[in-house]
Structure 1
Amino acid sequence: MPATTVQPAVALESIASPQLWAVTIAGLVVLLVLDFIVTRRPHEVRMREAVGWSVFYLALPLVFGVGLWAWAGSTVAVEFFTGYVVEKSLSVDNLFVFMLLLAAFAVPAVLAQRVLLYGIIGALVLRAIFIALGAAALQSGTWAFLLFGAILIVTAVKVFRDAASGQEHEVDVSSLRSVRLVRRFMPVTDGYRGSRLMVREAGRYALTPLALAMVAVFATDIVFAVDSVPAVYGVTEDPFLVFATNAFALLGLRALYFVLQGALSKLRYLNHGLSLILAFIGVKLVLHWAHGIWPQVPEIPTPLSLGVIVTVLVTVTLTSVHANHRDQRAEARPGDR
């Protein structure tokens, strides 16, 4: 009788030693503490400040990637840069939802960056949990690649359908289960109380709308983690690189929000592009799973993945700019309706 074929477990070899993990996490903590210091005094973020921090947080992954190239070689560095581009592009879409949540809760401009900072910390914690779960799933067998691929393809179809139908991001605060649950157990003040999350009024403790906004942002972080972690596992199987790409992509979101809050609405084809990227990585994962069973099935190399992702993002930007200019010219024509 022929021997039964058993799917082998995936050996996840990481380039990171315990010392490198410790240094990376320590560096992340230092950056978060620095962000806390910056946001300790609530103030409205000016464009100059936001651009300066954005440049800083864009330079960090470049320096880190160059260091990886010198230390571990070009293959590891290309995987890092590819994963970073994927996570950064997905995080830009996250900013849309953050923007809508801040508007829905009428968060004052001086408190917006504090809400974003707590949201980013929550996202980092959730990503770390999902990364660990993803690594455990991959070690249990190659079926995890098929599962991750299916998740991404299904998500891509949903995102594309929403984009094709013209459906915009919508946030109904009253329908968020997390917000309803909090309101059921705690009273909420009728207005903001500065940067305080909880106050004592009329002899009882009550949450402020700022606390509810942070709960809502944290709840949406869970949804984002479900998509982003499988996406980067489609680029690299190294848990350290997966964590590093997520951390670098999230760290600069607070500053990037204030830089792009006016431009985000003009990227009308962003979701079309993100759906293509998610579908592409999903197919890449399925092919990787199939290659482990049938070696003749081709795999998509990481440099090609990086090229496809960058091409899609550039195309999305150019077509969005062209469409915006076309609409502006049409509106400027006299008598044109």
Structure 2
Amino acid sequence: MPATSVLAAVELQTIASPQLWAITIAGLVALLVLDFVVTRRPHEVRMREAAGWSIFYLALPVVFGFGLWAWAGSTVAVEFFTGYVVEKSLSVDNLFVFMLLLGAFAVPAALAQRVLLYGIIGALVLRAVFIALGAAALQSGTWAFLLFGAILVLTAGKVFKDAASGREQEVDISSIRSIRLLRRFVPVTDDYRGSRLVVREAGRYALTPLALAIVAVFATDIVFAVDSVPAVYGVTEDPFLVFATNAFALLGLRALYFVLQGALSKLRYLNHGLALILAFIGVKLVLHWAHGIWPQVPEIPTLASLGVIVTVLLTVTLTSVRANQRDERRAGERPDR
């Protein structure tokens, strides 16, 4: 490949026509409206309800992926499924942070799903912005692959360092700048007022703790968007597929939260696995950039990436389960004092 072509802009190819974009976005809006209808009446979500919605939202990307396979071929479908697995695994980490935030704000169980829904909508908006910025960066030159790869490798190092330290992940509300700023300029009520975000008291408007919880979730969405968008661009350069994988991964988080609420804390090696996945995709992006300059540098096929990612996730799950069982056995063998 000539050096001049490396400096040229990257021509992003997409399988999506304007009509497909319109249909996809309309379907996304319809699903969000459906979620609003479901959460309109605040209630505590039972396992049966959460499991039903989780199965529904897990089935949607499967149907969509096989539809892509029939319409655009196996390569596009494999890219979609690989990107979806990456985004879904990263979204599980989102859920763990959401769980910590809801606990820190003492959000009532009946209001938890409304906070999660607002957080998902905020995440979708932010992902759309970052996807557009990523596409613009890739069109400006192949340097963007190197930049995305570096971001993912550095992030992986930080995630692995935190995981290896054994420190419990926690949320300090006072350290969130957006919350400090709101409390400085806007009064906040001492207690929740149902699903209301703003109330009028003593002749002035005040925010409720529910509004602060939503702002905190939205603030964490920004951090996760910085990691997740470059990660999926390491799988596919098609902006439509990047958007679709993010949308499908986020849509079912509200219901999945209540299914995994108890299990999340038991996946003790989750962050170790996510660090490996981020580092792997970061290296994949760097190799892709280097291949454009030196064709003899190998690239990692998408199907191989899918295999590595699935293997890491299965290993993380199995090792976490075995470690928990070992601790339970030791606790049972410990003599009572």
* TMscore range, shorter length: over 0.9
TM-score normalized by structure 2? Answer: 0.98
Counterpart of 1:51 in structure 2 is 51
The alignment partner of 2:102 has SS state of helix
Report the counterpart of residue 323 of structure 1 in structure 2: 323
Structure 2 residue identity aligned to 1:51: A
**Equivalent residue for 1:15?**
15
Partner of residue 164, structure 2? 164
Which 5+ residue runs of structure 2 have no aligned equivalent? none
Structure-2 separation of matches of 1:228 and 1:5: 28
Normalised TM-score (structure 1): 0.98
Paired residues in the alignment total 336
- Please give the secondary structure, in 1, of the residue aligned with 2:7: coil
Moved over 2 A (4+): 2-6, 334-337
Change in Cα spacing, 1:76 to 1:6, as seen in structure 2 (3 Å) is closer
Q: Distance in 1 between matches of 2:170 and 2:104?
A: 10
Distance 1:47 1:259 in 2: 6
For the 8 Å contact 1:236–1:242, the answer to whether it is kept is yes
Answer yes or no: is 1:82 the counterpart of 2:67: no
Contact 1:191 1:208 in 2 (8 A): yes
- Equivalence for 1:207: 207
Aligned pairs for 1:84-103 (under 5 A) are 84-103=84-103
Give the Å deviation of 1:168: 2.1
1:308-319 mapped onto 2 (5 Å cutoff):
308-319=308-319
CA contact 1:54–1:256 (8 Å) conserved in 2: yes
User: 1:327 aligns to what SS in structure 2?
Assistant: helix
Q: Aligned with 1:200: secondary structure?
A: strand
2:228 counterpart residue number? 228
- Given that 1:330 and 1:336 are in contact with CA atoms closer than 8 Å, whether structure 2 keeps it comes out as no
Correspondence for 1:254: 254
| Cα deviation code 1:161-213 (max 9, x no counterpart) | 00001022211001100000111111000100000000001111000000000
Residue 302 of structure 1 is matched in structure 2 by 302
Distance 1:242 1:30 in 2: 20
Distance apart, 1:269 and its partner CA: 0.3
Q: Show the counterpart of 1:68.
A: 68
Give the corresponding residue for 2:283: 283
Structure 1: runs of 5 or more not aligned: none
In structure 2, the residue matched to 1:125 is 125
Q: CA deviation at 1:335?
A: 2.3
Give a deviation string over 1:285-308, Cα, whole Å, max 9, x none: 000000000000000000000000
Aligned to 1:187: 187
Note the C-alpha offset of 1:5: 7.4
1:264 alignment counterpart: 264
Give the superposition deviation at 1:3: 8.5
The aligned amino acid for 2:282 is: G
Note the C-alpha offset of 1:4: 6.9
Aligned equivalents of 1:175 and 1:161: distance in 2?
21
What does residue 178 of structure 2 align with?
178
SS, match of residue 199 in structure 1: strand
Please tell me the root mean square deviation across aligned C-alpha atoms, in Å: 1.3
